[in-house]
Each structure stands twice: as C-alpha cells, then as structure tokens.
A and B are shown apart, each in its own frame.
Chain A
Amino acid sequence: MEIQVCIGSVCHLKGSYDIIHQLEEMIASHGLEDRVTIKAAFCLGNCTGAVCVKADGEIYSVQPENVGKFFETVVEKKVM
C-alpha cells in the first residue's frame, strides 16, 4: 500500500512534514515497512482540506493531531 502525503505549500504550512514523520514512526512500530510506503506529492489538488493524504485512491484530510486515528482506521484496517 502506498500513502501519498501532500507537501505542497498549503499542506506544508499545516504540518505535512510532521505527519510524514509520525506515519513513518507508526509504520515502523507496527513492523509494516515492507507493506506500506510513504511518498511525498506536490499538491493533491484539495488545498482546502490540508493536509491531504491519499491512500488507496482516496483522499483524506489529516492533521498532525489526528494522524493516529487515520492510521488506525485507514492504514491498519486495509493492511492488517
């Protein structure tokens, strides 16, 4: 599974770099490195919903505060 995190200007200002880091840590702590990859993207086209995260073709609006929830409900569910 590939997760794309938007790092375009708007998303970057809303903390997309932090989200990438948090996701990387969660993936590592769950031992999912070989099943989930994170990629940066320059603008996923939904700046009003910053930070944009795309997983399995769907776009989610994620903030640094609720990355955990996103990981649980979207990533874990699909991979585990």
Chain B
Amino acid sequence: MRKFESNVQFLKYQVNKEVTKHFLQGEECSEHLDEIAESIIPGPKPMTRCCIYKERHIVKERAKAVIEPLKGKNVIQILRSACDECPIDRYVVTEACRGCLAHRCKDVCPRGAIMIMGQRAYINQQLCVECGRCKDVCPFHAISDVQRPCIRSCAIKAIVFDEEKKAYIDDEKCVSCGACVYNCPFGAVVDKSYVLDVMKLIKESENNTKYRVYAIVAPAIGSQFTDVKVEQVINGIEKIGFYHAVEVALGADIVSCHEAEEFANTITERQWMTSSCCPAFVKYIQTSYPELMEHVSGTVSPMIAIARLLRSVEENCKIVFIGPCTAKKMEIKEDDLKGDVDYVLTFEELQAILDAMEIDLSQCEETSLDNASYFGRLFARSGGVSEAVQQAIEVKGIDADYRPIKCNGLDEVVKNLRLAKLNRLPGNFMEGMACKGGCIGGAASLSHGPKDVTEVDKYGKLSKEENSVQATRVFNLDVVDLERKYPGMEEKAEEKTEQ
C-alpha cells in the first residue's frame, strides 16, 4: 500500500475511500456515516483527541463535507470541530530559560514587553508585537515561536481566528491555494472533495455511451506515483471508467505559444506581464492588486485550453481535471470559465478512488499518455513556464527582449508584486506560482520530496514532440477561444478607448 506523507493525508484518503466504497455498493452514503466513522476510528483508544467519540464525530463531519454540496463559496473550509484552538500567543519563554545575567531578550525588545521575575523571563503578551528579536538573541534558544501552523502557512494573511479561538478563513482574501490544508497538523482545514460527483458522472455515462467522460491529467503526474509507471496510472484511470486520458501539458504547449505571441504584441505597451496558469496567483492579484490586472496574461490556463480544445472536437463530452491543486477547484467556477471543466479531482482523491475500486496500479497494463512536448510538461515545476515561453519565442522566431523572473511560492509573489507596483520588477515576465516548487508542491500533491523536480524533467524528456510549436501543429486553434475575460477588465478597456 502507498505510504502517506502524514496521518492527515491518510485520514483524508480514508474518508474519500470509504465514501466511494459505499457509493460503489449502491448505497446512499449519507445513511452510512456512523459505519464510515467506526471503520476509520475503530477504537478503543483515541489517536490524538480526547476520546474516540470526538474523533468519530470529526470523521463524520469530513464525510459529510464530501457527500453534501459545498456550503458557501470557498472550496477551502475550516472544520470547526477539528480545529484544536492552537495557542494564539506567538512567542513564549520555555523551560530552557535560565534567567541569565545578560538577559539580551529584555534589552533587545523594542516594546519593553519582557520582564525578568524569579530568575526567568516572561513576555507580556499585551505588549508583544511578535517581532521575534528576543528569540533570535537568546543564547539558550529558550524562546519558542509557536505561531499557529495555519496562520504561518498563509503568505497572504487570509487566516485569522474568531472569538472562540477557532481558525477562520477570510474568503475575500483567500486564494484557495491549500497551503493551510497541507500544513494544519490536525487536519482541520479541508478542501472540498468531488469524488462522489465524479463517480456519479461516470456511472450515469453508462459506460461512456450517453456521453464520454475524459480525464485531463496535470503534468505534475510525473512526480506522483513514482513506484509505478505513469502509463500504469493512466491505465488505472481508464479502469475507473474514464473514456480516455489526455495530457494537460498539451494545453500548456498551447498556452506557451499563445503567451509568447501575447508577450511580443503587448509588452511595449504593458512594460511587464505575468503568467496566468496558476489560479491562486491570478486570484491574489485580482483581490489584492486589482490595479495591476492589466499586466496579467489574458491567456487561459493549460487546463482550460485543453478542455476547450477537447470540446471543439467533441461537443458533448464531460471533462474531469486530475491534478495536485486545490485552487483549480475554484478556477472552474470563475464566471468566464464556467462549463469548460466539469469537476476537479486531486491526486489524493484519485488514489482513494483507485483503492476503493481495488485497482492495483502495479498490476495495471500500460496505456500511453503522449501529446505534449518536453516544455509543456515542465509547467509542473517552478521555472518551467518561463522556459516554455522562451522556447516558444525562439521557435517562432519572435524578436523580443524577454526577461523572465520566477516567483516560487506565494511569499515570493507577494514580494515581487510590491516591487512591480513601484515599477521596480527586475524583469518583464513574471512567472507566478503559489506553491513552493510549483504545481508539484501543490497542497494535494501526493509527494513533496526533493526528487520531484528531477522526476518532472525526466518525464518531460520522454515526450515525442520536440517543442510546443510542434506539439500543437495539427490543431485548428482558431476555433478555440484562448482569451480570458477577467471581470471588470472589459469596462476598463472601454474606458481607455473612450479616452
């Protein structure tokens, strides 16, 4: 069996798997919540909580979140019963404090928040501004930074806490990147799972006769199931009941060609532009820097590009995206993209479905997955988009001053957007990826290891097509709409022409 990165990932997997199993047995899942909870928490001893009854309650809540339609608009939500109300005070003095003579902590504190009493330092939390200088100077490392993992993981400060000390997501700010989902050690933040909806979609297709269900698979697949071949995973995906699997990396090839043209045509006027493949990155600019939206690439993401290409060939098909990303679950609901992709599944959820159906990947035959070029497949990792656009510029023989700058993770995005706002961006093409390492570091990626980058490159090199232009040469892309219509941008464009 697969080894999971943490028990949080494992629990998420178990819930998805059990719900899927009940569905496969033709049962109404909501009537079997107790059974699901008891099978996952058999007892008699609790694992982490006060008692097995609380643990079972949490499992039931998780299962309900899978079974019931999404409440609210954000696919990332706090499971209140699972939030352990971690300490709110960020810096605390620990037992290691020796009450020394130097007390550098007290001297360095800019707010006078530290006092020494009974041969020990204390922090007055009312005065503390969380600068962390005391922690840095203590020779005994006696001051501990116990900031809540959810808050620490959120580079854009969208997580706060409510009056009951439970974590709370500010949906106006949240970009659904899923960092908190991955980082909460209690598994109290969940991303909406659509496993049931996908299973229903497949079932109602009556073996792909009423309509065909296509799986479009993100290039991050290269680093996911490393103990089996990608071809075996594709075979597994088709065994679930998908009609056929298509590489999203081909969509990435389409995007690199389109973005290269867009760069050449608009860079003089815009001065700098960004990528647009990462939905969390785009959302962040939309919510926090709306005045910079004119710099955001107007090209759709690879997921949308491949979905629209598929629909241009086969009108009535259904499309499920499979990837490492939670923000994609939000992207498909955007006003100008609605209807392009039916559902998003994560690799974690894919694993749960495979196991619920007892599909052993190591025993699967090999079904090839090949349409994209090396460069399309590179979109899965940080730096890949910049390289791919550069390649498209070169292959197309475009004469352009292209200076890419890669932002690896939301904290680098935040930093560089501040510079961009002041016209000090050290480049003219900003590659923005919300997750560290790129999509392979996604919140719902099955693996977050140091080898993932090499796996992506290795997988990329296996492709038949040499470059993005070659990979897209047979398609009539004139019939595929590759332009985004960001809300509010059209009026802005009209204003400009009026002026």
Contact = CB atoms under 8 A, between A and B. Distances in A.
Nearest to A4: B313
B371 A9 contact: yes
Interface residues of A, number: 16
Interface residues of B, number: 19
A42 B474 contact: no
A43 interface: yes
Contacts of A41: 313-314
Interface stretch (B108-116, B362-370, B411-419): B362-370
B244 interface: yes
Contacts of A21: 474
Of the listed residues A17, A21, A39, A41, the one surrounded by the most CB atoms of chain B closer than 10 A to its CB is: A17
A32 B370 CA distance: 31
Contacts, number: 41
Given A12-B370, A13-B370, A43-B244, A7 B474 contact: yes
Contacts of B313: 39-42
Contacts of A20: 474
B473 interface: yes
A26 interface: no
A10 interface: yes
Contacts of A47: 367
Interface string B241-261: 001111100000000000000
A67 to B, nearest CB: 14
Contacts of B161: none
B194 interface: no
Interface of B: 214, 234, 243-247, 310, 313-314, 367-371, 464, 473-475
Given A13-B368, A13-B370, 9 more contacts: A9-B234, A9-B247, A12-B464, A16-B474, A20-B474, A40-B475, A42-B244, A42-B310, A42-B314
30 contacts: A7-B371, A7-B474, A8-B244, A8-B246, A9-B234, A9-B245, A9-B247, A9-B367, A9-B368, A9-B369, A9-B371, A10-B367, A10-B368, A13-B368, A13-B370, A13-B464, A16-B474, A17-B473, A17-B474, A20-B474, A21-B474, A39-B313, A40-B313, A40-B474, A41-B313, A42-B214, A42-B244, A42-B313, A42-B314, A47-B367
